[in-house]
Amino acid sequence: MNIAIFASGRGSNFEAVARAIRQKRLSCKIKLLVCDNPQAKVIEKARNAGVDALVIERSAFADKKAFEQAIIKRLKKDGIDLIVLAGFMRLLSAEFVRAFHNRIINIHPALLPAFKGSHGIADAFAYGAKVTGITVHFVDEHMDHGPIILQEAIPIKENDTLASLEGRIHRLEHRLYPKAIQLFAQGRLKIKGRKVGITRK
């Protein structure tokens, strides 16, 4: 199974997926990194891992549709089976999502539907929540929405700082995201009773 990882920043989840593949806990190949930020550290990590990086800036295109069409063209050329969003800081259009129906997944650092948006950890911490966690879900036309694949909760401790909570959330992400991808690769996921995923290797 060929996957494309979309990322805009440090790439810690990219590293976690690559590590799971090396350790044979995950049966797929990272065929492509898609990054919209030419300064992102994930680009060097991809190149060090021998993964092609498509560095593509929105500003180089007349509109969002042209930007996304260029990405779709490359994804189809590379035979991508699954898109893995890992800190990609752009919302995908409904047209893009339809082009890869039930083949885009995202990881969110909160227990959806709570604390949607780009600051899920900080929002839960500031709210004073006693429990938070992470959610892996299929992507649909709405932000931080779509059928849930996996969720896991962790308590927010009395002595937690935002930094310590972020560290525990990220460690949880790195364990759960490869597990969710493997479930897709094995054809073990269902949406509304219908199997989704790729069974070929």
Is residue 87 left, alpha or beta, with left meaning phi > 0 and alpha meaning psi from -120 to 50? left
Looking at residue 198, its pLDDT comes to 64
Looking at residue 192, its pLDDT comes to 77
> Would you name the residues annotated as active-site residues?
108
Does the pLDDT value for residue 197 go beyond 80? no
Looking at residue 8, its pLDDT comes to 96
In this prediction, residues 10-20 reach a mean pLDDT of: 96
**Domain 2-196 bears CATH identifier 3.40.50.2300:** no
Considering the entire predicted model, what is its pTM? 0.93
- pLDDT above 70: percentage of residues in the chain: 98
Quick one: pLDDT band at residue 138, thresholds 50, 70, 90?
A: very high
How far separated are the first and last CA of the chain, in Å rounded? 5
Looking at residue 143, its pLDDT comes to 87
Q: Return the domain boundaries, the chain.
A: 2-196
For the four alpha carbons of 131, 143, 108 and 100, in that order, the dihedral sign comes to: positive
Structure tokens at 199: 């069974």
Question: What is the average pLDDT score of the chain?
Answer: 94
Looking at residue 191, its pLDDT comes to 85
Does the pLDDT value for residue 200 go beyond 80? no
Does the pLDDT value for residue 84 go beyond 90? yes
